[in-house]
Structure 1
Amino acid sequence: MTRLMRIEKWCLWGHVLSMAFGLAGLLWVMPHPEILDYLPAGSTLYRWSMAGGGVVYILLGTVAVALYLRRTFGWQAWLSFMIPALAISLSSELSGTSTGFPFGDYSYLNGLGYKIAGLVPFTIPLSWFYVGVSAYLLARGGLLGERMTWVRQLAAIATGALLLMSWDFVLDPAMSQTAMPFWYWHQPGAFFGMPYENFAGWFVTGAMFMSVAALFWQRNERLQNLDREQLMVPLIMYLANFSFAMFMSVGGGIYVPIFLGIVVGAAPAIACWWFAPKSSTADADPAAQLPPMPVMEMVSTPAGVSK
């Protein structure tokens, strides 16, 4: 196993675990600060988590997905998605925070890192990238197959944009209404504080950078007929971030977006993975293709031995 593959795994599972750590802080410790008295260095860890926890988990997710794309499909596939995703999503966010178009009238608070132009945290376009490419790869795997007609291409882009929008279905109400909100709406909308135009903005923004990537990816044979093993990392990434949003919503007593998100997001994502071709190495249990937790790898691999 190469050093970059080890870094990819550490970042992937670090991303998942840091989200769980952040959930514990927001939903468990914040309402009950007396818990910190019983934890070693509890107050210090809590301050670190609140000050930079959001930045850390987003950076870990970005590195994990970037290394996965480079390893699985090549550096051209990675950059031809990442660059349009960052540029288009940042443009939409800057427009949204300064003019209200296309998402509505909102502003970011602190907690997600340095703000570009004083408006958009630098981590926001990164989250569009790694969740967006995970959603699009799942859609491609479930819908394209070997026959890449233009109808299927459009269906994959629309499905990927829908999966991305569905994540925000669940995330936005919780992250803007939690005890420590990360953004707020100047004019709260009818859907649990969100304006309905926000959904259209998410769908169109995602569809735009997915369409650009689809044009660049046409000649890459490794991106055709994706199988379940290749899609395992995107599935983990999408479901982990969806679960984070879901638990945040549960903690805030917001349930309707969860059910809608499951119907149009989590369930279709799993279905796309399931309908992708079964990989040749996944003969029995698909779960066996999950990247192992680094701690398990350390226990099973003697020091100084690489696989």
Structure 2
Amino acid sequence: MTTTVAIPAPALRTPAPPADGRGRAVAVTQWALVVAGLTVALVMPLAGWGNATVAGLLLTIPFAAIHGICRYGWRRFLTFFVVSFVVSNFFENLSIVTGFPFGDYHYTGSVKLFHVPIEIGPIYLGLGYISWLTASTLLDRADERLNWRERTGRFNTFALPALAAAVMTMFDVSVDSQASTVNQVWIWEDGGGVFGVPYTNYLGWWLVTYIFFQIFALLLARPQTRAEEPGTVVTPGSLLQPVLLYLVTGLASIPTFFTAKSGTTVDAVGVTWDLTAINETMMTISIFSVITVALLALAKIARGDTRTPL
């Protein structure tokens, strides 16, 4: 008797459906914001058109809204916005009144919410979002791997916020002396050793940003832990754009150094600072913090480390 063994046909992978018009429009808009950010960072300082850093930060806000809704859904993204806005404004106002956690300072000009300009909260959102995803890229898409049933998920839930806060604080270290001591967008009332900025500012930045990143990580971890299959909470998408936009925030310091005026400025306690030294130091910090971290994240993307969650 001859026994016939049926050999199953190889499984065919169903091709992904082509992107619809809406998906293409979203992708084009995101890339347009990245290109606009790059143009602002490199062209504005060379042309002498205002503050390139502020203009670049404002572009991160619509980018975060578009990319964030696609990645997390509008409810979770709205949660990210509310948490970052409330936490940042609470501590900014607290520091202005009490000196904790950043130090004693006050903002100049602009329409304020209590003591803080209304644009500061949205800037925390935009910069925070691209910092969060840059850190997630460095940790191999950690925001998709927060499942507490796994050791990696438990680790990521705390490591990702800590790294994201450091990534975001790197940016502040590279610009605060220019924004305050040179441009006087805010004034440090007691001065400080970092060209008029106290070291407590940077410790405060890490603490405050860590708090709202940690809250968001815990909020993401809960549904990921309950989900039966991975990928049901976070929609995989391009991490290239947010990392490039984070890179852009550091690039403006280079043309700024080469085009900025020389001379001196005096801080609130009467200490005189050399403008060339400030711009040169901020550029150097930016190159070896913001730009280096962004390039490392881009290298991980190019190498394929973030193609699929491990």
* TM-score, scaled to structure 2: 0.70
Higher helix share: 1
Residues 274 and 148 of structure 1: CA distance in aligned 2, closer, same or farther (over 3 Å): farther
Partner of 2:86: 87
Runs of 5+ consecutive residues of structure 2 not aligned to the other structure: 1-20, 146-150, 225-229, 261-274
Distance in 1 between residues matched to 2:285 and 2:40, nearest whole Å: 26
Distance in 2 between residues matched to 1:8 and 1:132, nearest whole Å: 17
User: Shift in Å at residue 66 of structure 1?
Assistant: 0.6
Query: Residues 22-57 of structure 1, C-alpha deviation per residue, up to 9 Å, x if partnerless?
Result: 5356xx36xxxxxxxxxxxxxxxxxxx68xx98765
Counterpart contact for 1:170–1:249, Cα < 8 Å:
no
Partner of 2:164: 160
Which of 201, 204, 208 aligns to 2:204? It is 201
Counterpart contact for 1:161–1:203, Cα < 8 Å:
yes
Partner of 1:169: 173
Residues 202 and 280 of structure 1: CA distance in aligned 2, closer, same or farther (over 3 Å): closer
Partner of 1:125: 121
Residues 267 and 55 of structure 1: CA distance in aligned 2, closer, same or farther (over 3 Å): closer
Query: Residues 118-164 of structure 1, C-alpha deviation per residue, up to 9 Å, x if partnerless?
Result: x2111111111111121111212221556633233322221111111
Identity over aligned residues, as a percent?
22
Partner of 1:136: 132
Counterpart contact for 1:105–1:185, Cα < 8 Å:
yes
1:231 aligns with 2:235: no
Counterpart contact for 1:189–1:196, Cα < 8 Å:
yes
- Secondary structure of residue in 2 paired with 1:125: helix
Runs of 5+ consecutive residues of structure 1 not aligned to the other structure: 30-48, 282-307
Query: Residues 33-86 of structure 1, C-alpha deviation per residue, up to 9 Å, x if partnerless?
Result: xxxxxxxxxxxxxxxx68xx9876554421121111112332133122211111
- Secondary structure of residue in 2 paired with 1:269: helix
Distance in 2 between residues matched to 1:268 and 1:223, nearest whole Å: 29
- Secondary structure of residue in 2 paired with 1:96: helix
Counterpart contact for 2:165–2:209, Cα < 8 Å:
yes
* TM-score, scaled to structure 1: 0.70
- Secondary structure of residue in 2 paired with 1:153: helix
Partner of 1:262: 287
Distance in 1 between residues matched to 2:185 and 2:75, nearest whole Å: 34
1:150 aligns with 2:162: no
Equivalent residue letter for 1:270: L
CA-based RMSD of the aligned residues comes to: 3.2
Distance in 2 between residues matched to 1:249 and 1:93, nearest whole Å: 29
Q: Where in structure 2 are the equivalents of 1:213-224 lying within 5 Å?
A: 213-218=216-221, 219=223, 221-222=230-231
Counterpart contact for 1:144–1:225, Cα < 8 Å:
no
Q: Where in structure 2 are the equivalents of 1:276-295 lying within 5 Å?
A: 276=301, 277-278=304-305
Equivalent residue letter for 1:239: L
Residues 82 and 223 of structure 1: CA distance in aligned 2, closer, same or farther (over 3 Å): farther
Partner of 2:104: 105
Query: How many residues of Structure 1 are paired with residues of Structure 2 in the alignment?
Result: 253
Equivalent residue letter for 1:95: L
Equivalent residue letter for 1:166: M
Distance in 2 between residues matched to 1:87 and 1:143, nearest whole Å: 27
User: Shift in Å at residue 245 of structure 1?
Assistant: 4.6
User: Shift in Å at residue 222 of structure 1?
Assistant: 4.4
Equivalent residue letter for 1:153: T
